[in-house]
Amino acid sequence: MGRPRTPAGRARETMRRLAEEYPEAHCELDHANAYELLVATILSAQCTDARVNQVTPALFARYPTPEDLASARPEDVEELIRSTGFYKNKTRNLLGMAAALTERFGGEVPGAMEDLVTLPGVGRKTANVVRSVALGLPGLPVDTHVLRLAKRLGLTTSSDPVKVEHELNAMIPPAERGPFSLRLILHGRRVCVARRPRCEACVLADFCPKVGV
């Protein structure tokens, strides 16, 4: 094909090529349901997925439902999640989130963005993770990798994650938004790394404008 010349064209070709490059892309936070993924994603703030996955088995065993977590003692939760960092603030968010699910949503994780972002500790990125991974709904989480690669590929000029999300949504079909985000993240970790991009190994190199270089 010819070199795509517009942001939308580059987005579509990026989506196509990364789907071939990373067919195995999946969320690396271990979870069995939407509640567990919501908890894990809150814990993942400024923490690695691997560390979160070490902490959550004991947490979920002790508090398997939002109702259980809502009635937990803060000091008990703090002890379980201490190694994820910022554990006091995360505990407040977890208990507040669980209480809100119990009191306002019948113990179920809502699917609507406008409902999810009312939960303590939940912004658009977390909401989009839960929507796209656990609930099968359109959602394009914009983390630091997605933001960086979207700018480098010339898909956006914005540094605002919400604006970038909306711009990418206009270019990516709803069903592909979650997988597209996961694949950009993988590509950012494995090839287009921040400090020294491996352009010689990049499947997007022939049309990437390399914005910022």
Q: Which is the catalytic residue, given 30, 49, 115, 143?
A: 143
Angle CA 7–208–200, to nearest 5? 160
- Please give the single-letter amino acid code of residue 27: C
- Please give the single-letter amino acid code of residue 30: D
Residue located via tokens 């894990």: 40
Residue 7 backbone phi and psi in degrees, to 5: -55, -45
Is 115 in the active site?
no
The string of DSSP letters for 68-130 reads HHHTS-HHHHHHHHGGGSSHHHHHHHHHHHHHHHHHHSTTS----HHHHTTSTT--HHHHHHI
The string of DSSP letters for 144-180 reads HHHHHHHHHTTS-----HHHHHHHHHTTS-GGGHHHH
Is 143 in the active site?
yes
Tokens of 186: 């993988």
Cα–Cα distance measured from residue 128 to residue 4, given in angstroms and rounded to the nearest whole number: 28
Catalytic positions: 125, 143
